[in-house]
Amino acid sequence: MFTESPSRAISSYQRVGVESGVVSADPHKLILMLFEGARQALDCSLLYIQQNRIAAKGEMISKAIMIIDHGLKASLDRKVGGELVNRLEQLYDYMTARLLTANLQNDAVIIEEINCLLGELHEAWMSIGKQPAGKTASPAAKKVTEQPATAGAAV
């Protein structure tokens, strides 16, 4: 009846679920999905480090980098974002550079650092979506704008 393995069937089912979610999502939800995807990839990379599955770890870190660089960073609206866009762009560049180092050194601490940063941004983005129009940004979102422009600044 089924010619594919159960894990392949589950993977196909998950892929269809994600694709369906993308088709029906508004722009705010799409950004949330990018944060979730990057964080999930980093969680998997930590597991693969523990299991000494180096190739799989590398694939997951590469996936997170792609999501950050080609998803989150690429979605920044430079026309209306002002200083916040500049700071987020610098933060995304910092994250990808750190993840490259983490990949080369199998450094779980760096991966956890970047996952934490993504978590704070994710939380801020979620709170923005819950606010009625005209409300001020959440404390987490304000933290992003108040940080110095140095690449190593934590959010």
Tens digits of residue pLDDT in 49-82: 999 999 999 999 999 999 999 999 999 988 888 8
Residue 4 is assigned to a structural domain of this protein: no
Most confident of 9-18, 73-82, 145-154: 73-82
Q: What average pLDDT does the segment 22-48 reach?
A: 89
Residue 22 is assigned to a structural domain of this protein: yes
pLDDT at site 37: 97
Residue 85 is assigned to a structural domain of this protein: yes
Q: How far apart are CA 37 and CA 43, in angstroms?
A: 10
Report yes or no: 111 and 68 within 8 Å, Cβ to Cβ: no
Residue 5 is assigned to a structural domain of this protein: no
Residue 3 is assigned to a structural domain of this protein: no
Residue 71 is assigned to a structural domain of this protein: yes
Residue 111 is assigned to a structural domain of this protein: yes
Assign residue 131 a region (left: φ > 0; alpha: ψ between -120 and 50; beta: otherwise).
beta
Q: What's the mean per-residue pLDDT of the chain?
A: 80
Provide the residue range defining the domain that includes 118: 10-146
